[in-house]
Structure 1
Amino acid sequence: MGGLKTYLAGLAFACASFSAQSMPSDPREQVQLFASCAGRFSAQMEYAWLVGHDGADERARRHTFVTLLDAVFPASDTGLTGPEVLDIRIRAKHAQARLLQTARFDQNGERSARARARAQELTALCNALILS
């Protein structure tokens, strides 16, 4: 589990340095970022369904990031394989789903609030890339 935490912390740090004005120019970083955002919005979409919403906004954002991902990978030499990119998406989805579940169902109010804030922060990083 420490490996996953380290990976996610590094990924969050990398994403935190990006803004809509500073899209990474390195194709590998773009692939990692777009795959992570696609995974996050997959979790957001499924969470919306869980709580009785249609998830249309989340589905649209996921589609945007999948489209961006498809445009960059495998069109460029990123050094990543298809399974590695899928792994990035799955890990980001799983991490986002855990945050959303903790935010909604954890009995500890402080832990719930931290999870909610972190989930919002991560999706805000992605939204900043596509929304102006």
Structure 2
Amino acid sequence: MGGLRKYLRATALLCALAAAPAARADSDLPDNPLHFFATCAGRLSALMEHQWLVDGPASEATKSRRAALLEVVEALTPPDAAPRVMAWRIEAKAAHATLLGQSRHGSPAAMARAARRAQALESACTAYLS
């Protein structure tokens, strides 16, 4: 039953992608949904770890959203693509962790830019979760 649930969740999210061209235009959504969701899972991993330090309760909500994305990633990943998908997740996590760090240290203008960018990337990722 778990496999069916993952398949249905992946199908629902892919339908949302197809039905939301306005959301796609404002995000960094690539042509490859697997890449998009894997990258989002990495970003939310970084956010969750950041929240452990600055906002513990928020990390629980992020953990749930991340779990949903990981189910979709798992359902979409062909067996031979698992290493590449993991690399996408790791790269996105590292980049987002850097961005979140910049949002807490530096000049006020740089911190504000980094915070806005991090929020925009996170919003693009969570826009497809319902």
Scaled to the shorter chain, the TM-score interval is 0.7 to 0.9
Which residue of 1 is the match for residue 52 of structure 2?
Answer: 49
Q: Which amino acid letter does the alignment assign opposite residue 45 of structure 1? A: M
- The answer to whether the Cα contact below 8 Å between 1:42 and 1:93 also exists between their aligned partners in 2 is yes
Q: Aligned Cα RMSD in Å?
A: 2.3
Length-normalised TM-score, structure 1: 0.72
Contact persistence 1:103–1:112 (CA under 8 A): yes
- Over 3 Å counting, the alpha-carbon distance change for 1:36 and 1:20 in structure 2 is farther
The gaps in structure 1 that reach 5 residues or longer are 1-17
Q: TM-score, normalised by structure 2?
A: 0.73
Structure with the higher fraction of residues in helix conformation? 2
- Percent identity at matched positions? 36
Alpha-carbon distance in 1 for matches of 2:18, 2:115: 21
1:81 offset after TM fit, Å?
2.3
- Paired residues, what number? 106
- Runs of 5+ in structure 2 lacking a partner? 1-16, 25-30
Q: Compute the displacement of 1:52 (Å).
A: 4.3
In the TM superposition, what are the counterparts of 1:1-132 in structure 2 within 5 Å? 21-22=20-21, 29-54=32-57, 55-74=59-78, 81-106=81-106, 108-131=107-130
